[in-house]
Structure 1
Amino acid sequence: MSLSEFAIVESTLREGEQFIKANFSSDDKVEIAEALGAFGVEYIELTSPIASPQSRQDCERLAGLGLPSKILTHIRCHLEDAKVALATGVAGINLTIGSSSLMRQFSHGKNINQIIDLASEVLTFIHQQAPNIELRFSAEDSSRTSTEDLIKIYSAIEKLGVVKRIGIADTVGISTPMQVFELVKTLRQFTNLDIEFHGHNDTECATANSYTALEAGATHIDTCVLGIGERNGITSLAGFIARLYATNPEQIKCKYRLEELANLHELVARKVGISIPFNHCIFGESAFSHKAGIHTKAMLNSSETYEAINPRSFGVTRSILINHKLAGKQAINHRANELGLSFNLSQLKDITHRLKTLADQQSLTIEDVDNILYSYHCQ
């Protein structure tokens, strides 16, 4: 499968609600859903309507907005959950049940055959009630479930003929990229269904695992804005987009409206009361800031030397920093040109030496640097 042939299942309004600081109002959810739709995600996943009375109302409200993204809800593999989900008018239902030995023992107490029987009953019921609704079935904690058990479960589910895709969940974020690759590749040999990957970030492998899942044959990737979610969250939407952009920028620029991503991140950060991390891959304060002299020299000649991502694609600007002891004369000359000043090589060397000497003794602002440049120009 080409890496361009995939869909994002954006879960900020489901998995993201499990983030420690998240408490979205109904209006918050509408704002976020509209921003996700403007960016162009294919799916928006919502909290189960049985979670609370407001959750049910929110499913109904968002399902009726007419957004370009398909509205899904995520439920347990329970018949009563399914009945409530159907009544909300969502376009798709994502069912899940734990499949690992830990989940079987400490969560629901069912064996593999009982899981298959229950899933078959619920999925068949939904399909009978709403033949056009999009169904996904996921084995929670897939990464700690034996491959044999997963194949047995998913083969039985596929035979029902009602499910569009199956889901692989790295529920506690323990998988490595190679493990994800081998699991997806193995399952791809046993199924023609679409494969969705849901990766948690407990060991900071979520984005790498998601990209590797695509390489192995997955078709859908779950993300959250800013990577929020239960515990340390899941695959970051922007992180995943950045990884894809670095591989094939033109495809990603055609597939999504990248200029909408900044507003989306600012919106969600504000709603959950956090700052965008300084080292965020696209919108962090330091993402496109260049400091070391050898870097800035090359950057001024060609930005591709030290940037895998063009910030302009996302409506972001780069910074060439010169108010520090690592500044080089090319960067200082660049700033002088911005100010309409011109210096010969000897003057630039003197200015650079003076700036470095001062920076060893104190913190400098860009205004301090400009004053030095102006003072030399007046000499």
Structure 2
Amino acid sequence: MVKIYDTTLRDGSQREGISYSTEDKLNITKKLDELGIDYIEGGWPGSNPKDIEYFNKVQELKLENAKISAFGSTRRANIKAEEDKNLNAILASGVKVATIFGKTWDLHVTQALKTTLEENLNMIESSVAYLKSKGLEVNFDAEHFFDGYEVNPEYAIKVLLAAQKGGADTLVLCDTNGGTMPFKIKKIIAKVKEEISVPLGVHAHNDAELAVANSLIAYEAGAVQIQGTINGYGERCGNANLSSIMPNLKLKYNEEFITDEQLAKITEVSRYVSEVANLNPPSHKPYVGDSAFAHKGGIHVSAILRDSKTYEHIRPELVGNKQRVLVSELSGKSNLVYKAQELGINIEEESTDLRAVLDKIKDLEHQGYHFEGAEASFELLVEKATGRYTKLFELEGVRIITEKSEDKSPLSEATIKVKVNGERVHTAAEGDGPVNALDGALRKALISFYPELKDIHLIDYKVRVLEGNEGTSAKVRVLIESTDGHQTWGTVGASTNIIEASWQALVDSIEYGIKLKKVD
């Protein structure tokens, strides 16, 4: 049975912009264990204090499925293995599994290590043997294996034989530069199996967008350990993406290496890791992305309403994801029927209400609105078009003044007049910018009527210029994301005036939030 080896915490952390704390790494470890991962590579204990701290603390976790592995290199040239600091750091980490890498490509031996080909073989064999003598399970990562094999296949095989002689449990063939084609992976592994008796693994990088394909080809060729990272995070273009590999193994190859319940957690784990890494969740990734089962074209939506198999290769629930239908100028009636049903609004496909909503959406999208990321604005639009909308207040007027002096930051003041339930409110607020001041003034005017507002906050504000060639008179789109601490929602506005566009999105945000709180 295939084993999954996760290196999110080590190789994945080499992605530009990622820096996990020790606590982050421990929390991710728990999530990976729940997913059914067999091996979790925690880091390189000889390289930095953070990894040493991780290995000390991870021993306190009660893991159900995973073995923790420490990463390192073979001993340095011309010393004994027992004298090597990195190897001894692995032993001191308290792990039961070690993964050490060695040079397979003769170019790296002579140019990077500055040693002889024979000494490199000795380094590999003695390092593996030393760790085995201490009772550890040892994976040997044959770095640059496929590139090395292409240049000097005889020496690449000698490297594997040295690790095998040292007692390695698994020989992992690494496509370190990420440029090997799948047909070469298959051909080379077939040759390796003629010479090697130890189980094989694969460690692929994604520089040619083939890491997942190469990992699966290696599995077909007989590899029993697949290494990779959640979301494919890693240096340069990343590593093999376990968020795709694991569903493919389970659902396409019928490999029973994890349970159905574990597979259903993979979307959650993918998004959790991205949040901890402070990266946007990978919305367009297969299986786990928010868009993986999102449908926009009207013909597609009409079909999936009858049978989801028409445009979905699996049921999204199998991987913990869900089907989504988007609303845009490309929408047909089926899109709106689907979305209305989601909102609890019953609209018949041939009703005048539906045609009114569809025409309004197409008109607004032509003006610059964009409802894919603003479903709260869409819901309010449906309510207005179908006569279900209740207006919370009326705007009588707003004035915004921004003051800027030479040595001070700009300060904006918004004065607003609104009428709520027949009562006029006139108030003002200051802010760092005009939108901030406008938000403050509107909240100040409404809070006594709608105390729910105290829980509603803006968490993101985006402005996009739609017609750059129009200069300062260009139309802009404003997208606002808001939360009440439990749910989040998006709203949109569009205008040639950024304040007007912001007002539209802001009002929708507040009205939708108040409506949500009243339902709760």
Shift of 1:141: 0.7
Counterparts of 1:1-150 in structure 2 under 5 Å? 5-68=1-64, 69-78=66-75, 79=81, 80=84, 81-130=86-135, 133-146=136-149, 147-150=153-156
Q: Is the contact between residue 60 and residue 90 of structure 1 (CA under 8 Å) also seen in structure 2?
A: no
Alignment pair present for 1:298 and 2:303: yes
Q: TM-score of the superposition, structure 2-length normalised?
A: 0.65
- Which of the residues 160, 176, 185 maps onto 2:181? 176
- Which of the residues 161, 165, 177 maps onto 1:159? 165
Relative to structure 2, which stretch is displaced further, 244-253 or 275-284?
Answer: 244-253
Shift of 1:248: 4.5
Secondary structure at 1:44's aligned position in 2? strand
- Which of the residues 311, 331, 341 maps onto 2:335? 331
Deviations 1:232-276 (A, max 9, x none): 220112121233345146846626612333342333223322111
**How many residue pairs align between the two structures?**
368
Q: TM-score of the superposition, structure 1-length normalised?
A: 0.88
Q: Give the Cα separation in 1 of the matches to 2:15 and 2:358.
A: 49
Deviations 1:11-42 (A, max 9, x none): 01111232222222222221111111111100
Shift of 1:96: 0.8
Larger RCO (CA within 8 A; separation ≥ 6): 1
Equivalent AA in structure 2 for residue 374 of structure 1: T
Identity of aligned residues (%): 25
Shift of 1:368: 5.8
Q: Give the Cα separation in 2 of the matches to 1:29 and 1:337.
A: 41
Root-mean-square deviation over aligned CA pairs: 2.6
Q: Give the Cα separation in 1 of the matches to 2:189 and 2:103.
A: 18
Secondary structure at 1:168's aligned position in 2? strand
* Cα gap change, 1:355 to 1:185, in 2 (>3 Å): farther
* Cα gap change, 1:92 to 1:288, in 2 (>3 Å): same
Q: Is the contact between residue 336 and residue 354 of structure 2 (CA under 8 Å) also seen in structure 1?
A: no
* Cα gap change, 1:359 to 1:326, in 2 (>3 Å): farther
Counterparts of 1:243-262 in structure 2 under 5 Å? 243-248=248-253, 251=256, 254=259, 257-262=262-267
Relative to structure 2, which stretch is displaced further, 341-350 or 56-65?
Answer: 341-350
Q: Is the contact between residue 326 and residue 356 of structure 1 (CA under 8 Å) also seen in structure 2?
A: no
Q: Give the Cα separation in 1 of the matches to 2:354 and 2:19.
A: 55
Q: Is the contact between residue 337 and residue 349 of structure 2 (CA under 8 Å) also seen in structure 1?
A: no
Equivalent AA in structure 1 for residue 214 of structure 2: N
* Cα gap change, 1:58 to 1:353, in 2 (>3 Å): closer
Return structure 1 stretches of 4+ with deviation > 6 angstroms. none
Relative to structure 2, which stretch is displaced further, 183-192 or 294-303?
Answer: 183-192
Q: Is the contact between residue 141 and residue 172 of structure 2 (CA under 8 Å) also seen in structure 1?
A: yes
Q: Give the Cα separation in 1 of the matches to 2:70 and 2:104.
A: 20
Q: Give the Cα separation in 2 of the matches to 1:245 and 1:253.
A: 8
Shift of 1:359: 5.1
* Cα gap change, 1:75 to 1:371, in 2 (>3 Å): same
Relative to structure 2, which stretch is displaced further, 99-108 or 89-98?
Answer: 99-108
Shift of 1:142: 0.8
Equivalent AA in structure 2 for residue 195 of structure 1: L
Deviations 1:78-134 (A, max 9, x none): 13222221122201111111221331233212343222211111222222222xx21
Gaps of 5+ in 2: 76-80, 372-376, 389-520
Q: Is the contact between residue 26 and residue 58 of structure 2 (CA under 8 Å) also seen in structure 1?
A: yes
Relative to structure 2, which stretch is displaced further, 232-241 or 361-370?
Answer: 361-370
Q: Give the Cα separation in 1 of the matches to 2:132 and 2:177.
A: 31
Shift of 1:55: 1.9
Shift of 1:280: 2.1
Determine the structure 1 residue equivalent to 2:426.
none
Counterparts of 1:298-317 in structure 2 under 5 Å? 298-317=303-322
Q: Is the contact between residue 202 and residue 232 of structure 1 (CA under 8 Å) also seen in structure 2?
A: yes
Secondary structure at 2:284's aligned position in 1? coil
Q: Give the Cα separation in 2 of the matches to 1:154 and 1:256.
A: 37
* Cα gap change, 1:353 to 1:11, in 2 (>3 Å): closer
Q: Give the Cα separation in 2 of the matches to 1:194 and 1:278.
A: 36
- Which of the residues 189, 199, 206 maps onto 2:204? 199
Counterparts of 1:179-258 in structure 2 under 5 Å? 179-248=184-253, 251=256, 254=259, 257-258=262-263
Q: Give the Cα separation in 1 of the matches to 2:143 and 2:99.
A: 12
Q: Is the contact between residue 260 and residue 318 of structure 2 (CA under 8 Å) also seen in structure 1?
A: no
Q: Is the contact between residue 67 and residue 97 of structure 2 (CA under 8 Å) also seen in structure 1?
A: yes
Gaps of 5+ in 1: none
